[in-house]
């Protein structure tokens, strides 16, 4: 996680699950970004991370994360590369956020320019 402001960037290196277990001792962040993480997390862990990140936000802080959507390259990735990703659709991602305690009006979803990846913004 990175704490960002006009003049400061602060990182919190480590395993995100371990860090968020101690979320009460973490500083509040204006911005948290997690790209490529949720593609590998089962729903239970994804909810834990969303809930913890949301708790670590300042008022009006933002948490951005991505998740692969319907991937047309999946058969090749899995067969040739033994690379397995958890695909989620927009409805599933919104549901994960809501189940994590984020009010529905504070979740914004879009896709990247390729249409393959969902971009999720949670605003406190």
What CATH number is given to the structural domain containing 79?
3.40.50.150
CA distance 70 to 112: 13
| pLDDT (0 to 100) of residue 117 | 97
Q: What percent of the chain has pLDDT over 70?
A: 94
pTM attached to this predicted model? 0.89
DSSP string across 79-106: HHH--------HHHHHHHHHHTT--GGG
Instruction: List, for residues 16-64, the tens digit of each pLDDT value.
Output: 999 999 877 888 999 999 999 999 999 999 999 999 999 999 999 999 9
55 three-state secondary structure: helix
Domain enclosing residue 43, as ranges: 2-123
Quick check: 80 pLDDT over 90?
A: yes
Give the mean pLDDT of 95-102. Answer: 98
19 three-state secondary structure: helix
Give the chain's domain count. Answer: 1
Give the mean pLDDT of 86-107. Answer: 97
Quick check: 2 pLDDT over 60?
A: no
**Weakest mean pLDDT among 21-25, 71-75, 93-97:** 21-25
Q: Please state, rounded to an integer, the average pLDDT across all residues of the chain.
A: 92
């Amino acid at each position: 996680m990175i704490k960002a402001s006009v003049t400061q960037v602060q990182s919190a290196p480590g395993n995100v699950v371990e860090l968020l277990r101690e979320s009460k001792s973490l500083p509040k962040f204006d911005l948290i970004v997690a790209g490529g993480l949720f593609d590998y997390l089962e729903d239970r862990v994804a909810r834990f991370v969303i809930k913890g990140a949301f708790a670590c936000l300042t008022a009006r802080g933002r948490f951005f994360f991505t998740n692969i959507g319907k991937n047309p390259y999946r058969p090749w990735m899995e067969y040739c590369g033994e690379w397995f990703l958890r695909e989620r659709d927009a409805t599933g991602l919104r549901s994960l956020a809501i189940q994590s305690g984020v009010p529905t009006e504070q979740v914004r979803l879009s896709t990247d320019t390729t249409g393959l990846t969902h971009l999720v913004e949670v605003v406190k």
